[in-house]
Amino acid sequence: MEKSGWIIYHDGEISDQIKEKEIIGEIDQKLLRLDELKSMWLSYSEKKQLVLYIDGLGWHQLKASLPQCPYFSTFNTACALSSWPPITNTALASMLSGADASVHQIKSHADRSLKLSTIFDEYPGRCVYIEGERTILYTQQSALLNPRDEKDSDQAVLSCMRENLDYDFIFVHIHGYDDVCHHYSPQSRQAIDKLIWLDGQLSQLLSDVKGMIWLISDHGQHANGDKGEHGSFCEADMLVPIGLRVNENE
């Protein structure tokens, strides 16, 4: 196999350098990367944009569930590459800063202070970032809203999204699917049902929204017994969807 044109993982870092004996994995480098999202969002800033960030939704998980998710099926979706490591903090930092982990230095769950300028600093319109009950990363400019609801955080996040649809750039982090995948495994009935529920809720809540709606994720999950986990160099964790749907008549 031709090695150039592939991303190589060696010595704890992803790079395109080739050191044969340290190679433990390779993934097609021509895939979109999460750190490319920021420049894409900036290039469409004359439009209203809503980003639906569903935590833990790998490419293969979405593909397997699409026949039961009519709303997500309307998105034009491509396979993209997560960050290394494929964990929430690192991937979120890559999306928001447009840099990879060698630059933003968010490499573990303990790293929470993002020092680089983010999409919220640079976007020319009004931004809102709707997060669950717990803040993942601290950024320079706070566009953050944390709805608090002990019972069902996704419901609270979706209600908060609905109340803030007048912003120009709306970034919504939906956590519950990742939690269900950890608990029951990504191929479980419970995980599929959670995605079907989200599909129905979003379809209803966003039926009258004009502009560009993005469907993205930070990483996937692989099964470990009857649980799910992520953070490994494998397709299940590393491949994520980047989807786009344009609602016209602005």
- Which residues of the shown chain bind Zn ion in the complex (CB under 5 A)? 55, 88, 178, 218
Least distance (Å) from Zn ion to the CB of residue 221? Answer: 7
Residue 76 or 108: the one with the smaller Cβ distance to Zn ion is: 108
76 pairs with which residues across the strands? 244
Angle at 220 between CA 35 and CA 215, to 5 degrees: 60
Least distance (Å) from Zn ion to the CB of residue 136? Answer: 9
Residue 48 or 230: the one with the smaller Cβ distance to Zn ion is: 230
Alpha helices of 123-188 — where are they, by DSSP H? 153-163, 176-184
Least distance (Å) from Zn ion to the CB of residue 175? Answer: 8
Per the listing, tokens 């989200």 go with: 198
**Residue 110 corresponds to which tokens in the numbers above?**
């303990």
Closest chain position to Zn ion (CB): 88
246 pairs with which residues across the strands? 212
Residue 156 or 240: the one with the smaller Cβ distance to Zn ion is: 240
Residue 42 or 79: the one with the smaller Cβ distance to Zn ion is: 79
* 78 contacts 217 by C-beta, under 8 angstroms: no
Least distance (Å) from Zn ion to the CB of residue 87? Answer: 7
Q: Angle formed by the axes of helices 189-205 and 176-184, to 10°?
A: 170
